[in-house]
Chain A
Amino acid sequence: MPPIVTCRGLSKTFGKGELAVHALRDADLDIMPGDIATLAGPSGSGKTTLLNMIGALDEPTSGEVSVDGQPLSGLSRSQLSDLRLSKIGFVFQSYNLIPVLSARENIEFVLQLQGVSAAERRDRAMNAIKEVGLSGMEDRRPGKMSGGQQQRVAVARALVSRPKIVLADEPTANLDSKNALELVDLMRNLNREHGTTFLIGTHDIRVMEHSMRHIEMVDGRIDSDARSSG
C-alpha cells in the first residue's frame, strides 16, 4: 500500500539572517495507512512545525509533502482547503471547538462544508458522538463540557469526515490523567476498528506507550523512527 503521507527533504525556516530559526531541517517521513504514530522530542524540536506542513496549514521553505499521493506544492489556498476538508482531520491541544455551536453542530459543521445532506449529516454526527462516548451530550455547547469531553468532540469532528489521516498536536496536554488515558484508548480503538491513521505530536508518555510507531525529533531532524508491537 502506498503511504498516506510522504515528506521529502522538508525544511522550514522562520525569520531571516541572524534571527533565522531552522524549525525543520531536511526531514524525510512516510506515514503508512493504519499507522498510529507518535511524534516526540524536546520542546522546540519541530513537532508542531512538521504537523503543520503535513496538515497543509503552512508551507515548507523547501522540500515536498504529499498527502494521499497529492503533492501540496503549487496548490492554491482554496485547493488546500478542499484537501484539508476531504483528507485530513485535526485535533488541537486547546480543543478548538466553535463555541456557539453544540457538540453535534460542531461535528456536523465539517460535513456541511463537504456538502453532505442534512439527514446524512445528522446520522453521521450522532454515530460519531456515540463512538466517542458522548451520547446524550449532543446538544451541549463546548462551554458546558469538561476538557476531556470537548477533546472527544474534537476527535469526533476529526473523524466524521472520514479523513485519510488524523493529525493531533498535544491532544492530551490540557487533560488530567484519567481523561488523557481515555482519549488515548479512544484513538487506539478507532485505529483498531476502522484502521484510522493517526499522527500525534506529544510529550505524553501515556500516549507514546499506546502507539505502534515512535518517531523522535531533535533539532528539526527526525532522529529515530521505531515500530513496536504496541
Chain B
Amino acid sequence: MIDGLKTMLPLAWRNLWRNPRRTGITLIVVAIGLWSILFFNAFMTAWAKSSKETTLQLLLGSGQIHAEGFMDDPSIETLMDPPDQDLASALDAPAVADWTTRVVVPGVVQSEYKTLPATIVGVDPVAEARISSIPDRIAEGRYLSGSDDDSVVLGLHMVERLKTGLGRRVILMSQNAEGAMSEQSFDVVGIYDADKATEDLYVFTGRAASQRFLGLEGEIAQVVFVLQEDTALEDAVAALADAAPALDVRGWKELNLFLASMDSYMGVFVQVWLGIVFSLMAIGIVNTQLMAVFERTQEFGLLRALGMKPRRVLFMVTIENALLIGTGVLLGMVLAAVTIWSLSDGIDFSAFARAMEMVQTGEIIYLDFEPGAFILFPGLIWLLGILVTLWPARRASRCRPVEAMRRET
C-alpha cells in the first residue's frame, strides 16, 4: 500500500490537471465554501466577544452585589448598606480591577410633554468612569461632576421622547425611604448615546444627590465590580460571597442570561452555516466528480482490464479526490487568513448596530485569527469532502473492463 501510494500520488496529481476547468470549478467551490465558514466563524466569534464586552462595559460590570431580594423586586425596600470592612477588603483583592456603588430605584421622569417610566441611577462619576462606558458616551453636554451633582444625564432617545433637551429641566419621581413619593426637578446637563433600550431606561444623577432625594442615609442598591480576568469570574464571585454571606453576589452570567447563552448560540449558528455550506459544496463536488467518472469510463475500464482491482481503482480515485479537495481547502485557508488579517483593524458597525437595534453590539468588530478554527474546519471539510466523493469513486471502481475495448468512433 505504501509503495502503491508512492506511485499513485504523482499519477493522481497529474490526473487532476487533465481537465483544468473541472478541477478549477471544484477548487473554487471548496475554497469559497471553506472561506465562508472560516470568515463567518471569525465574524460571529468577534461579534459575540464584542457584544459581551460592550454590554459588560456599559453598566453590568463583571458582576454585582445586592441585598437579598433586590433582584426579584428592585425597590427602595431592598437596599443595602455600603460594603463593610470584610467585603471592602475582598473587593480590594488583586483579582478585582475596580468597583463602585450605585443607588438604583424605579421611578418616573417627567417633562412638560410626557411622563415616562425610568430607572434612576445614582453614581459616583469618578469611580463610574473606571467601570462604565456611559461617561464616555456623552453626545451633548457633560457627564455628572461629582457624587453631589444634582443634575441628570439622560439617554438620547429618552430626550427625544420627552421632547426636552440640554439646559431644560425634568422632574424625577420615586418612592422614598419613608414610603412617600419624592418629587424633584433636575437640570438636564448631558445626553448619552448608547443603544435605545439603555437610553430609554436609565437616568443618571449623583449618588449623594440621589440619596438626599430619596431620604436615604448612605444606603445603596448595588456594588458593581470589574475583574482583571473574566476567566476568574467563578472564583471571584465565590470569594465575595464568602466575605458577604448575607448578600446576593452574582457574576454577569447570572445577571444577563441572554448574554451568557450568546456564546453557545454563536457555536450553533456556525454549525448551521457549516451544514448549509457543506451541503451546497457536496452537491457541487459530487456532481462534477460523477461527470468526471462518466467521461473517464473507458479509462477506468482500461485500468480494470490491465488488472487493477476495483478496490485499487477506488483507492486511486480517492487519492485524486483527497488531493483535489485538499488543494481547495488550502486555498480556502489562505483566502480566509488574508481576509481576516486585512480586517483585523476592525469593521465599523456603528451605523448598522444602531439601525438594527442590536443587543448592545460593539460598534467596531475586531476579527481574530483563531488557530483552532483553522485546524478544525479545514480538517472537517477535507474529511467530509473525501467521504462524499467515495460515491463517485465507487462508481469509477465499478466501471466494467469491457469498456476498455470500446471503440473510439
Contacts and interface: CB of A to CB of B under 8 A. Distances in A.
B114 interface: no
A44 B138 CA distance: 94
A100 interface: yes
A109 interface: yes
Contacts of A84: 305-307, 401
Contact of A52 (B306, B310, B402): B402
A58 B11 contact: no
B299 interface: yes
A86 B298 CA distance: 21
Interface of A: 48, 51-52, 55-58, 77-78, 81-86, 90, 92-94, 96, 98-101, 109-110, 112-115, 118, 157, 169
Contact of B306 (A51, A85, A94, A169): A85
A78 B314 CA distance: 13
Interface in B369-403: 400-402
B304 interface: yes
A129 B408 CA distance: 26
Contacts of A77: 309-310
Given A85-B307, A90-B306, A57 B407 contact: no
Q: Which 6 pairs of residues, A with B, have the shortest CB-CB distance?
A: A85-B307, A100-B14, A57-B401, A84-B307, A81-B309, A94-B408
A48 B310 contact: no
Nearest to B299: A98
A110 B304 CA distance: 11
Contact of A58 (B299, B402, B408): B402
Given A93-B407, A98-B299, A57 B402 contact: yes
A57 B404 contact: yes
A85 B401 CA distance: 12
11 contacts: A52-B402, A57-B400, A81-B304, A81-B307, A84-B401, A85-B307, A86-B307, A94-B408, A113-B307, A115-B3, A169-B405
B268 interface: no
B22 to A, nearest CB: 15
Nearest to A77: B310
A109 B313 CA distance: 13
Given A98-B302, A99-B18, A100-B11, A57 B307 contact: no
Contacts of A92: 302, 404-405
B405 A100 contact: no
B308 A81 contact: yes
Interface in B45-104: none
Interface in B271-309: 298-299, 302-309
A101 B405 contact: no
A98 to B, nearest CB: 7
Contacts of A157: 306
Interface string B310-339: 111000000000000000000000000000
Given A78-B309, A84-B306, A100-B15, 18 more contacts: A52-B405, A57-B404, A77-B309, A78-B310, A81-B304, A81-B308, A83-B307, A84-B305, A84-B307, A85-B308, A86-B307, A98-B302, A101-B14, A112-B7, A113-B312, A115-B3, A157-B306, A169-B405
